[in-house]
Chains A and B, each alone.
Chain A
Amino acid sequence: MIRRLLVVLALLTAWPAYAVTVERVVSPGGIEAWLVQDHSNPILAVEIAFAGGAAIEAKSGTAHMMSALLDEGAGPYDSQAFQGKLDDLAISLGFDAGKDRLRGHLKTLTEHRDTAFDLLRLAMTQARFNKEPVERIRGQILAGLAREQQSPEAQASKAWYRAAFPDHPYGRPLKGDVASIKAITTAELKAFAKTWMTREGMVIGVAGDITPAELGPLLDRTFAALPARHPPINVPEAAAAGGRTELVTLDNPQSVAMFGSAGIKRDDPDWWPAYVVNYILGGGGFSSRLTEEVREKRGLAYSVYSYLMPFDRGGIIIGGVATENARINTSLDLIKAEWHRMAEQGPTETELANAKTYLTGSFPLSLDSTAAIAGLMVTMQTDKLGLDYLERRSAFIEAVTLADTRRAAKRLLDADALTIVVAGRPTP
């Protein structure tokens, strides 16, 4: 049995045995974190996710604006004093908002670990939201929105979400719009922070130069002061609207297009077959069918891609391409044809085998930094992948059969259901 197993591994994976040990650390006060120890370099990274993101906000852009203000003064420190401590000790601390979650990131040298956790605690529990930083960040967000209007990629993306989710919070822009940003009050920012940064649904990932015994007490000191619970999350299920087309007229030489439709969630039984199908279709860089047809054979684009995006209330499959105005429709026709061909026939045996060696073999490349490992520890918890996920991941991919991929492709890919947005001045 053992001999057979070894032979199979040697044939199917590009990797020798490679162990990353994931530890579940529970503090004396009952706060949990997943840890990967690495004492080779005196740094550590912490990643935190809170349940509740932009999808639950009343005014578009509140979660994003709030997260930009958490490190702009907290506890005894005003904004310059707080930022000065971060700068002087080379601590990097920041927050951002996604559609379903808020995330926090901390990276520090071991020697400043205690101060770093202290600043993290202050930011989460005692952010000041003083007038100066609130107005400054508001101005920066408005300037950022103006800059986004110069970006065809940003314009196409915003328009795509608006078209695909017209009546759902997923369709609203994460950074808000000019009217909503101008209208957000300090009281609303404070209330959002207090209501949604709670221990309920919070997950923590840690990587680097720290032991479980050192981490435990720090978890209590840092997170115990957060409220225990948040209100119920009432975001409805979301199915991306298909078959819409939209044009955002921009005076550019090249049109930027985004195309996509409803996808699947992360806990769907077809996740891995769908993941493999997407890799072969448009996820695999120079190895993908879209790159082959659009870029390599015809020189129609520098970049063409697709990916699965699994939100909590519904997934999407989405992609992009940029081609000169006169030929963008040729690119889109080819993409639709590839979408259709994959739905009808699925991948070939060879494509499936190549996808497997890449998807299993390349995984360790993405664990190149301490922060990336901390981020993975969070994803493993939010996606409920299990403490032993890293040991099982290759087996999930190896288990995908040609029949699985055909079923998933048929279910996932419908060229007529693509919602397509073009930003540019395409010629018909």
Chain B
Amino acid sequence: MRFLAIARAAALLTALVPVAATAAIFDPTTYQLANGMQVVVVENHRAPIVSHMVWYKVGAADEPTGKSGIAHFLEHLMFKGTPNIAPGEFSKIVARNGGRDNAFTSSDYTAYFQNIAADRLEMVMRMEADRMHNLTLDDAHVRSELKVVQEERSSRTDNNPSALLHERMEAALYLTHPYRRPVIGWPAELAGLTREDALAFYRRWYAPNNAILIVAGDVVPEQVKALADKYYAPLKPETLEPRIRAAEPPQAGARRIELKDARVRQPSWMRQHVAPSYAGATDKTQPYALQILAEILGGGATSRLYKSLVVEQGLAASAGAWYEAEALDWASFGISASPRPGISMDKLEAALLAEIARVAKDGVTAPEVTRAQARLKAGVTFARDSLHTAARVLGEALTTGQSVADVEAWPERIAAVTPEQVSAAARAVLDERASVTGLLLPAQQETRR
């Protein structure tokens, strides 16, 4: 994002948001324009505001080799003008009309949004449709914005040893699949990105038949249709080349990264397993079972890991688990903990591994599953509270291989999961050979004998 979080690079942060918040029944209207652009409308008439988003089915995992960071860099450059809108003016026009705008990039998608008064929808549509085809870039703006992105990388990653470890773990988790690439880009590749790289990526991927329009808020579908027909329908579809994602070979051995850094004051332990995503799963029920598993292991103060490691054994200051099913190819299942002051990492790790082994061997109980299902179900009602949540959930689903029907069926699919399915999913996914373990440790002072 130009100001906010990069979705995939910030997986650790988003993991703290309840899994349930990522799905709900929004009752959307959906259809396709003749040029292939999908349109989704979610009505919410609480306030006269609207969230207008365009999602492109392209992200960092689609970048050419050696050009890591170009998807996100282009996202920044999309604010640098067209023949109709001067460089930097886009956001200022939105603000002058009482709106807020931004954009964000993940491995699988790139999205642009404006939150604004419902009667300004036409204006932001006109501007968003304009920059889908008419971006003009001059070298001075590109060079200056590259520095902004380099500063962004420093803020997010290089200034933060914990983020640095996470970046290296992702790179180790996937042997060849491009999810190993950080969305913000590797420093040396980022430094070499040019105007031509950005324009080539733009021409290849930014087209109505590779985009999804989502409008949530105080609108009716007919009104959105009329505006979409006027501004998006005339855009010419492009011939899209297929997305080429290297096939990940079977995982055969555990990896371990110990990042020792003099800046570290609070150590932490983390393990990530390659896991099936909604789109990539062979057994389509497994991603739902894994959401319940993550809730049982790491969902709050009564979860297994917190109760055992933090409360009962008193070894950890924090402990949790997360799983994000929204990905075009692979997802990951994560477990993390941080020691209480005075507790050694070895002791903490042994206790964590015992809990992981226990759930892989003995599975989960029926009451645990029932409790987790009830909590996840309640999240649906909370997710409906905000119109931005609806737009975000639907956009993420539709750019990671799911359908509107899949999103709407989430509560019943969660409710249908059995304890046996959760236990089987735990056995299948909590396999050390398909994992990376990362330790964040303080750098030890060298001592002479």
Contact = CB atoms under 8 A, between A and B. Distances in A.
Contact of A251 (B147, B150, B152, B262): B262
Interface string B133-151: 0000000000111111111
A284 interface: yes
Contacts of B265: 146-147, 149-150
Contact of A38 (B46, B116, B151, B301): B46
B119 A132 contact: no
- Max chain A Cβ within 10 angstroms of own Cβ: one of B143, B155, B379, B384: B155
A299 B145 contact: yes
A284 B92 CA distance: 9
A83 B301 contact: yes
B159 interface: yes
A365 B49 contact: yes
B156 to A, nearest CB: 8
A362 B98 contact: yes
Contact of A132 (B99, B149, B311, B318): B311
B154 A362 contact: no
Interface size class of A (residues with CB under 8 A): 35 or more
Nearest to A296: B88
Contacts of B263: 150, 250-252
Contacts of B378: 89-90, 109
Interface string A382-403: 0000000000000000000000
B302 interface: yes
A139 interface: yes
A42 interface: yes
Contact of B266 (A143, A251, A254): A143
A322 interface: yes
Given A87-B301, A286-B92, A361 B98 contact: yes
A322 B151 contact: yes
B83 interface: no
Interface stretch (A10-18, A224-232, A236-244, A335-343): A10-18
A18 B120 contact: no
A360 interface: yes
Contacts of B240: none
A152 B49 contact: no
A43 B386 CA distance: 12
A302 B384 CA distance: 32
Contacts of B374: 88, 90
B310 A298 contact: no
B47 A253 contact: no
B307 A80 contact: yes
Contacts of B98: 13-15, 357-358, 360-362, 365
A364 interface: yes
Nearest to B303: A87
Interface string B80-123: 00000000100110011111100000000000000111011000
B260 interface: no
A201 interface: no
Given A16-B117, A301-B148, A254 B155 contact: yes
B144 A299 contact: yes
Interface stretch (A24-32, A166-174, A260-268, A366-374): A366-374
Nearest to B90: A286
A43 B148 contact: no
B84 to A, nearest CB: 18
A358 to B, nearest CB: 5
B387 interface: yes
Interface in A290-328: 292, 295-303, 322-324
Contacts of B311: 79-80, 132, 136
A142 B143 contact: no
- Max chain B Cβ within 10 angstroms of own Cβ: one of A83, A90, A364: A90
A88 B373 CA distance: 10
Interface string B314-329: 1001100000000000
B437 interface: no
B47 A367 contact: yes
Given A139-B340, A150-B160, A300-B147, A322 B154 contact: yes
Contact of A299 (B99, B100, B147, B161): B147
A41 interface: yes
27 contacts: A13-B98, A14-B97, A14-B116, A14-B117, A18-B48, A41-B385, A80-B311, A90-B378, A143-B338, A147-B266, A150-B160, A251-B263, A252-B154, A254-B154, A286-B92, A299-B143, A299-B148, A300-B147, A302-B155, A354-B96, A361-B97, A361-B98, A364-B48, A365-B100, A367-B47, A368-B115, A368-B386
Shortest 8 CB-CB contacts between residues of A and residues of B: A361-B98, A299-B147, A90-B378, A14-B98, A143-B317, A146-B266, A286-B91, A254-B154
Given A88-B375, A143-B266, A150-B265, 15 more contacts: A40-B46, A80-B301, A89-B378, A143-B318, A147-B265, A150-B161, A152-B159, A253-B154, A254-B159, A285-B3, A286-B79, A286-B91, A322-B151, A322-B154, A322-B155
